[in-house]
Amino acid sequence: MIAANPFPELLRAFFQEWLAEQRSASIHTIKSYRDTWRLLLRFVAEQNGAGVARITLADISASEVRAFLTHAEHGRKGTIGTRNCRLAAIRSFFSFVADKDPEYVAQCAEVLAIPLKRKPSAAPCYLDPGEVEAILAQPDRSTIEGMRDHVLLSLLYNSGARIQEALDLCPKAIRFEAPYCVRLYGKGRKERICPLWPETVTLLKKLLERQPRTPDERIFVNRYCEPLGASGVRYKLAAYVAAAAKTTPTLRSKHVTPHSFRHATAVHLVAAGVDITVIRSWLGHVSLDTTNHYAQANLETKRKALERVGVPTAGSRPGRWKRDADLLAWLDTL
């Protein structure tokens, strides 16, 4: 009698019992983990020359996982960050299996020992105020789609929202009376309130007048009145940036994404002298270290700091350590 393959049941229990019920993971986390396992199972099946239905837990060894991660990074042209996200999803499953079925502890330990890959820490790409204005001027606001795009990009810059936070926005989350603000739901289901400029609120009002939505319906929708997706926004934004680059050449060397508006908000708040802890709350960062990253990115702030220091003059008195020969002679004897 052939023993039943426990792997499918373990994977179902991982998603249904562990992630959804016990951990109460967000739908975004579940979908991200799902996509990782889809790719992994197809990769292992191709490597083994058999179908996905024949895969056992023993087939997903540490060596297979490392090969998959290499494929995800180089074969699929993914980033190191994406590679690490894939590994996090795989680790989470094997951690669950180690507690669920001690028979596989040794295999789980080998997979859990696979390290995350370090990546260079580059300064975030952000937009200067003139570049933001050039991009915002591109959508044709005489059309409903152009108005929607202009309002969405303006909201991203005003609030520093992540793209999905903005796309999930419903009218009930906006305060249309002074003091104007928006309630955003970010990573980890954390809620925060961000102030809005009167101009942004006016834009939102005009969009809702032209395309009414109920309090619980998403504001930003496509031509079929379905919720707009992040990939669609990236596609449209690329076209706007290309058009804006004709009059603003500095945009040609920048990789602009919806997240670039969030970076721009942070850097411009730093330049305006806003306290770093306020910016942390504004952007919804868990760690202040993340917010401090923007304090290092603003070249204009650094230039002004350098001007305050001033250039040393040629006739300035040298430091005492250079003039005190006896002290230097004493140090040489140590």
For the four alpha carbons of 127, 133, 134 and 137, in that order, the dihedral sign comes to positive
The tokens for 273 are: 């002298």
d(CA 294, CA 44): 41
What is the three-state SS of 179-248?
A: CCEEEEECHHHCEEEEECCHHHHHHHHHHHHHCCCCCCCCCCECCCCCECCHHHHHHHHHHHHHHHCCCC
Query: What pLDDT score was predicted for residue 26?
Result: 82
Residue with token string 């990769």: 43
* Residue 298, token pair as written in the block: 């603003």
List the catalytic residues.
Answer: 162, 187, 259, 262, 285, 294
CA-to-CA distance for 125 and 103, rounded, in angstroms? 48
pLDDT higher than threshold 90 for residue 191: no
Coil/strand/helix, residue 124: coil
Q: Work out the percent of the chain whose per-residue pLDDT is above 90.
A: 60
**The pLDDT of residue 295:** 61
Asked whether residue 70 carries a pLDDT value surpassing 80, the answer given is yes
Q: pLDDT (tens digit, 9 = 90+) per residue, 261-299?
A: 988 888 888 777 777 777 777 787 766 666 666 665 555
Interhelix angle for 80-100 vs 105-112, to 10°?
Answer: 160
219: Cα separation from own chain's centroid: 22
User: Looking at the DSSP assignment, which residues form a beta bridge with residue 175?
Assistant: 181
Condensed to tens digits (0 to 9), the pLDDT of residues 74-117 reads: 999 888 999 999 999 999 999 999 998 888 999 999 999 999 99
